[in-house]
Chains A and B, each alone.
Chain A
Amino acid sequence: MTTSDLCLQETRPLLLRRAPLVFALLGCLSLVLMLLNVGIGSVPFSPAEIWQALGQTSEASTTGFIIWNIRIPRAIAAVFGGAYLAASGLLLQIYFKNPIVGPYILGISSGATLMVSFVMLTSVTVGWTLFTPFISTLAAFAGAYGVMLIVLAIANRVKGGVTLLIVGLMMGYLCGAVSAILTAFAEKDKIKGFVLWQLGSFSGFKWDEIWLLLAAGGAILVLLYLQSKPLNAFLLGEEYAASMGVDIRRFRFLILLCACALAGMVTSMAGPVAFIGMAVPHMARLSFGTSDNRILIPGACLMGGLVASLCDLIARTVMAPVELPLSAITAFFGAPIVISLLLKRRVKL
């Protein structure tokens, strides 16, 4: 027994060594992309100017203002927005044991959109300005959770991966329909803001939004990481997880709460962003070569931040000065990935 045990211990680290390597690589790439996101923009700056601006406050010069109040918030928002969407997608894929789900596909983003459209297009919240931007975050969270509950109720009645996707799509259409009706009645200037928001973008983040994003999201991610053990058990299905000592009811509630909170928060600030939540967990799984959530939770977050930063960079630069909608770019890279996964039978519906 002991000899074979020793053999196994010797072979383990080989597998473990892959993770730090990939982490380092992804980390470096993310950092480079963040720097690029800060450095590149419609107003060209030399590296020296940027370096100088970084040492000053935002009021000191136009350069400082652009760097500190536009580019850096945007770069941070892209990294964390992407990370949270990826984490949310990872949770949903584990929860539904379905590899093709994500916050967007399941209609969670649509639910958030719906509630945000209430806030943005109607006058319900006039006078609550004190709470902005938190009001739209809370609304998005409520919308995300509402849709999630409906999808869950239906998913419990009808089994099957494809049904779940169709239910999600239908919820998306329904929410879209209500948003469209609200748009028809809304004032013109409000519509423009809403339409732009709906296309998805990491632009226009204010610092207080960033702090909220970092604090609330960070807390949820820490909580999730602490749950990686039951999440791993959950990969074997609910019944096995329960038989190993997971308190299933509490745990299910916790996963969904976290998934909706993360997706709702990002959606409220950046608009509905497609595919990152669905495709990134797969990219993480394949590049880390594991389903172990202790590696995948940070891994998917890092990968999500990287991908979102890249997409944002592309959206801003390829057709500059015109900025492309973020969801268009994420779809361009996400859809082929999902299709190729299906074709290679890496995932099964």
Chain B
Amino acid sequence: MNTIARQPIIEVRDLCVGYKNRSVLRDLSFTCRSGEFISLLGPNGAGKTTLLRTLSRHLPPQAGDIRVQGRPLEQLSAMELARIMAVVLTEKIAPPLFTVFEFVAIGRYPHTDSLGRLAPKDRVAVTSALAAVHALDLADRPFANLSDGERQKVLMARALAQEPQILLLDEPTIHLDLKHRVEVMAILRDLCRSKGITVIASLHDVDVAAKVSDRVALIRDGGIMAWGPPETVLGGQAVTTLYEFDKAEFNRHLGGIELKSGGNRGRAFVVGGMGSGALVYRLLAKKDFAIATGVVHSNDLDCFVARSLGAECVAVGPMEKINGAALEQARMLLADCDLVVDSGFPVGPVNEANLALLQTALDCGKPMLCLRDGLPPGLAANGTHRPMFCADAGRLIENLEALVVPIHTQEV
């Protein structure tokens, strides 16, 4: 499949979609090629479903044209279209007294004779559709008794029984548990790869979409804000604009969304680096601390997480030895903080300076939480003030809870 040059299968030009007297999306132009996984992303009500309904001809376009396999969509007969395109909708359906096999067999509609009798090739197609969604074991179960996740898979099998080249899915993972969410996405990706089916799905999980899609369409404000491979289109800023994030940020490198802290419980300075700080930052953000951190390297996991969480982050270039200027900047940030956390970073030649940062913290008597069993060699506690050593994240949380309240009241 991959060796064949990928043909455009859907071409959309200057398309306007909407309902009778309400335009939803305007001037859309894009091309989908066979075997591509295309995700439509955007906030609720942006028009993802309307676009899908227009592509599946449930809704006439207001303007512009759609070509399927080079032919105008409106010229295809219902049967021709059914052999090219299948849909999975969000509408809940529960026809009574159908076994899963019989239900999926209804999808053979465009291929069976006038009475809908199943020929041997139809049985094979139904069986392989069930196999493609890993649901062969459900074949004899009553359709009405399936769980949400199983039902979604069977709905996909019904669509596959049509043997389509294009599969349109409206929010295929909504209401599903994590297992089925992952399974459904994996199935869809396999369909693109092994059967060369073009999948167009509206999705809610940006992180998942970024990982499986060949192309994404960011839909917002009556149009496509961006269209292209997620690797170029799905930047943190684009996602923030798309969903109007206020307290969250999507990070392309991390492939996930970080929830920012409100910063209402005081400021914490984290001495981190080498990936040791990521968990600590997230924990502090969750506990509503404002975060400052240093000194980390700009290619460090910690740096990505800290920046996504909106932390003040002192960073030096990749592999660089931490220099005096950065250290000085970190010291100034540290001086403003109510609390210092030592993430337990491994010490090496490039980040030895961070030990000096820890010593500064010890010297100025800030409350200090240390994710180690004891102080690293060369550091000394200042008088009676000793850091709290936390063996694991659990101890860290307990100490944080115990420690923080007075600081917070002081601030107010």
Contact = CB atoms under 8 A, between A and B. Distances in A.
Interface of A: 1-2, 4-5, 8-9, 11-12, 15, 226, 228-229, 232-233, 235-237, 239-240, 242-247, 285, 289-292, 294, 346-347
A5 B123 contact: yes
Across the A-B interface, give the 8 residue pairs with the lowest CB-CB distance, nearest first. A245-B82, A229-B116, A244-B109, A245-B79, A235-B95, A245-B78, A245-B110, A291-B97
Contact of A285 (B97, B124, B162): B97
A243 B85 contact: yes
B115 A294 contact: yes
B131 interface: yes
A242 B58 contact: yes
Contacts, number: 92
A285 B140 CA distance: 18
A243 B82 contact: yes
A322 B158 CA distance: 56
A8 B139 contact: yes
A290 B127 contact: no
Q: Is the interface of A mostly helix, strand, loop or mixed?
A: helix
A12 B79 CA distance: 27
A229 B95 contact: no
Nearest to A285: B97
Nearest to A291: B97
A345 to B, nearest CB: 11
Given A11-B140, A290-B97, A1 B89 contact: no
A239 B82 CA distance: 12
Interface stretch (B39-47, B100-108, B252-260): B100-108
B99 interface: yes
Contacts of B158: 236
A239 B97 CA distance: 20
Contacts of A228: 115-116
Range for the number of chain B residues in contact with chain A: 35 or more
Contacts of B298: none
Interface in B114-153: 114-116, 123-124, 127-128, 131, 136, 139-140
Contacts of B57: 242
Contacts of A245: 77-79, 81-83, 109-110
B283 to A, nearest CB: 47
B93 A240 contact: yes
A285 B78 CA distance: 30
A9 B131 contact: no
A127 to B, nearest CB: 46
A15 B99 contact: yes
A4 B131 contact: yes
A243 B56 contact: yes
Interface in B69-104: 77-79, 81-83, 85-87, 89, 91, 93, 95-99, 101-102
Nearest to A14: B140
11 contacts: A4-B131, A8-B123, A11-B140, A228-B115, A236-B158, A239-B58, A242-B57, A243-B58, A244-B162, A245-B110, A291-B96
